[in-house]
Structure 1
Amino acid sequence: MTLAPLPSILIEPIVRVALLEDLGRAGDITTDAIVPSDGRARVSLVARQAGVVAGLDLALMAFRLIDPTLSSSVMRGDGSHVAPGEAIATLEGPARGLLTAERVALNFLCHMSGIATATAGVVEAVRGTKARVIDIRKTLPGLRTVQKYAVRAGGGVNHRFGLDDGVLIKDNHIAVAGGVRTAIERARAAVGHMVKVEIEVDTLEQLAEALSFDIDAVLLDNMDPEELRRAVALVDGRAITEASGGITPANAGAVAATGVDLLSMGWLTQSARALDIGLDHLS
């Protein structure tokens, strides 16, 4: 499936804030002092590691916001696998603009490509099963839209984007409500017919109780593979099953083999390692 790019209206405010943070109160005093105003350059964004590209649109927007006259040519777009030394895109134009936007552009590109690469690794680990790899809401403030986009670039899919687009009843909700039944009934009574209701369970006993009510999905939290197999059998197709907690590329295959529908991981967006991408001067 072709990866749909994020609309410019969504990403421009994010890139603009990052540039304003970097430019501070006086702009790029280093580049303005050293590089002639009429100097021109041609540069290339180059992968230093193998991985999956994500965030190229944000990187290119950073350059364009600094200098709209800069031109670019894309070799490997978002969702593409790249090898070490492979060029992702080239840019040409006023040298000051290229150097001033460089760090912000690379921050987005390296961070998002790291998320996409990590996601792709887990997707590969569960290949051959029905399980899909998903993110959660453990995202950096202000970057949720682009981090979740990066998960899609790596072959994953998205969980809810916020508190307003899906009900997820967690242990603290159950505790405050006074029980599973009350929590589910109150949720169902409050939301519209388009809103899904998911409930988190820690034990098979909790799962059995939850299945006696009207739910769409169950989050099976921190269960080992044997518990997950028993949980999937107990659900028997009556709800979507999501495994969460402690899932890594090393154990993702074993978790997926239990028959769960979804594997969710907060670390994909919260702490995935950036992909090393650099800006090489060509001329």
Structure 2
Amino acid sequence: MPLAPLPRLIVEPLVRAALLEDLGLAGDITSAAVIPADHCSLLVMVARQPGVVAGLDAAELAFHLVEPAITFRRHLQDGSQVSPGDIIATITGPSRGLLTGERTALNFLGHLSGIATVTACLVEAVAGTKASIACTRKTTPGLRALEKHAVRAGGGMNHRFALHDAVLIKDNHVAVADGVREAIRRARASVGHMVKIEVEVDTLEQLREAMEEGVDAVLLDNMSPAELREAVAIVDGRAITEASGRVTAATVAAIAASGVDLISVGWCTHSAPTLDIGLDVQT
């Protein structure tokens, strides 16, 4: 199925904030000084390296919010694979508006396409296993919705969006609650029947405690592939198994081969390199 776009109500405030940061108190004084008000141009947005496109809605809004007369024609959609030289979009309209909006548009598109690209690489690496790649809450403050959408564009899944989505009992919760059992019991007594409960475990003994209490998912933290295989056997389908920690492009296939359901990766959002995308005036 095609990737459903994020609602404009979510995307627009983020793009507006980025434009306001760039325009400051006086606007684009360079374009205003150099370019005649009635001049129009054509810009071509081109991929300069292979990857996966994401963030076109934000890029298009960056131009439209600056100058409604700009026309943004997409040649590709979010989730599309690109090779160097592929045209992503053509943008036409008043030259001042085009040059004012170009950096904000490229910032969003390059960053989000970078996230989609590394996610797609991880997804490809685990192909043929049951494991899905999921992102985490390790996102850029303010950009979580866009970054998680980019993960989906790359073929990945979203973990919880925020603290209110689900109960995730982490190691520090366990420490304060004085154990896995007590933490799970307190959580179950507090939340409603619609709220999922996941607990992070560092050892197989903690995992056995969690399964005795009953949870919806277990986060198997920093376990070796051999330990993960044993953990999957202990769970035996009674909960979703999620591997986390020490996940790299080199290790993800071995982690997936252990039989876990999910592999959560923080660096696909917080450390993905920007995809190189050019935006040049056609004379």
Partner of 2:226: 226
What's the C-alpha RMSD, in Å, of the aligned pairs? 0.6
The one-character-per-residue Cα deviations of 1:203-226 (angstroms, maximum 9, x if unpaired) are 111111111012000000000100
The one-character-per-residue Cα deviations of 1:203-251 (angstroms, maximum 9, x if unpaired) are 1111111110120000000001000001101110011000000111111
Calculate the TM-score normalised by the size of structure 1. Answer: 0.99
3-state SS, counterpart of residue 173 of structure 2: helix
Amino acid corresponding to residue 85 of structure 2 in structure 1: G
**Hey, what's the Cα distance between the residues in 2 that align with 1:44 and 1:63?**
13
Q: Structure 1 runs of 4+ off > 2 angstroms?
A: none
**Does residue 280 in structure 1 map to residue 262 in structure 2?**
no
Q: What are the equivalent positions in structure 2 for 1:117-156 lying under 5 Å apart?
A: 117-156=117-156
Partner of 2:248: 248
Partner of 2:113: 113
Partner of 2:100: 100
Amino acid corresponding to residue 246 of structure 1 in structure 2: R
**Hey, what's the Cα distance between the residues in 2 that align with 1:272 and 1:147?**
10
3-state SS, counterpart of residue 189 of structure 1: helix
| Aligned-pair CA distance for 1:123 | 0.1
Amino acid corresponding to residue 195 of structure 2 in structure 1: V
**Hey, what's the Cα distance between the residues in 2 that align with 1:36 and 1:274?**
33
Q: Which has the higher mean CA deviation after the structures are superposed, 206-215 or 120-129?
A: 206-215
The one-character-per-residue Cα deviations of 1:90-130 (angstroms, maximum 9, x if unpaired) are 01000000000010000000000000000000000000001
3-state SS, counterpart of residue 212 of structure 1: helix
Amino acid corresponding to residue 11 of structure 1 in structure 2: V
Q: What are the equivalent positions in structure 2 for 1:1-283 lying under 5 Å apart?
A: 1-283=1-283
Amino acid corresponding to residue 107 of structure 2 in structure 1: N
Amino acid corresponding to residue 206 of structure 2 in structure 1: Q
Amino acid corresponding to residue 154 of structure 1 in structure 2: G
Amino acid corresponding to residue 113 of structure 1 in structure 2: S
The one-character-per-residue Cα deviations of 1:118-146 (angstroms, maximum 9, x if unpaired) are 00000000000010000000001000000
**Hey, what's the Cα distance between the residues in 2 that align with 1:118 and 1:127?**
14
**Hey, what's the Cα distance between the residues in 2 that align with 1:118 and 1:67?**
33
Calculate the TM-score normalised by the size of structure 2. Answer: 0.99
| Aligned-pair CA distance for 1:52 | 0.2
**Hey, what's the Cα distance between the residues in 1 that align with 2:203 and 2:183?**
17
Q: Which has the higher mean CA deviation after the structures are superposed, 206-215 or 98-107?
A: 206-215
**Hey, what's the Cα distance between the residues in 2 that align with 1:118 and 1:198?**
26
Amino acid corresponding to residue 249 of structure 2 in structure 1: P
3-state SS, counterpart of residue 3 of structure 1: coil
Amino acid corresponding to residue 259 of structure 2 in structure 1: G
**Hey, what's the Cα distance between the residues in 2 that align with 1:153 and 1:137?**
17
User: What percent identity do the matched residue pairs reach?
Assistant: 65
User: Structure 1 stretches of 5 or more lacking a match?
Assistant: none
| Aligned-pair CA distance for 1:278 | 1.1
Amino acid corresponding to residue 204 of structure 2 in structure 1: L
